[in-house]
Amino acid sequence: MRDEVKEMRDALEAIGALDGETADALASLEEALDEIESHPEVGVVRTTFRETTANAAAASASKEGVLAGRWSQLKEQIKDWEEDHPAVTLVIGRMASAFASIGL
């Protein structure tokens, strides 16, 4: 994800759209990524996400209930994590606002 943040920063700089607020938002995102990587539940969330997305490609009508259950489990784990790390929610909101302001 750090590579994607760097690409965003470089792209915004290239078009002259990297203002102070956006730079701060990207820095906050990088801090949040560091925090995520050190969270004890990161492995569980990653595993659940990988399994869910892998199953999504092959999901049939009969498997939709299983997929929905896995997705629900992932959302619950993320919700628990967000309660411990509310700054991430703020950073995501700031990034969304920054992207919306430049039409992305």
Question: For residue 68, what pLDDT is reported?
Answer: 66
Q: What is the pLDDT of residues 58-100, one digit of tens each?
A: 655 455 566 667 767 767 776 776 777 677 666 776 777 777 7
The residue with tokens 């399994």 is 51
Whether residues 32 and 65 share a domain: the answer is no
Domain of residue 70 covers 41-84
CB 37 within 8 A of CB 1: no
Whether residues 35 and 1 share a domain: the answer is yes
Question: For residue 47, what pLDDT is reported?
Answer: 82
The three-state secondary structure class of 95 is helix
Whether residues 93 and 73 share a domain: the answer is no
CB 54 within 8 A of CB 4: no
Number of structural domains found in the chain = 2
Question: For residue 11, what pLDDT is reported?
Answer: 84
The residue with tokens 């993320």 is 78
pTM of the predicted model as reported, rounded to 2 decimal places? 0.43
Q: How far apart are CA 18 and CA 12, in angstroms?
A: 5
The residue with tokens 């411990």 is 84
Q: What is the pLDDT of residues 38-54, one digit of tens each?
A: 877 778 877 877 777 67
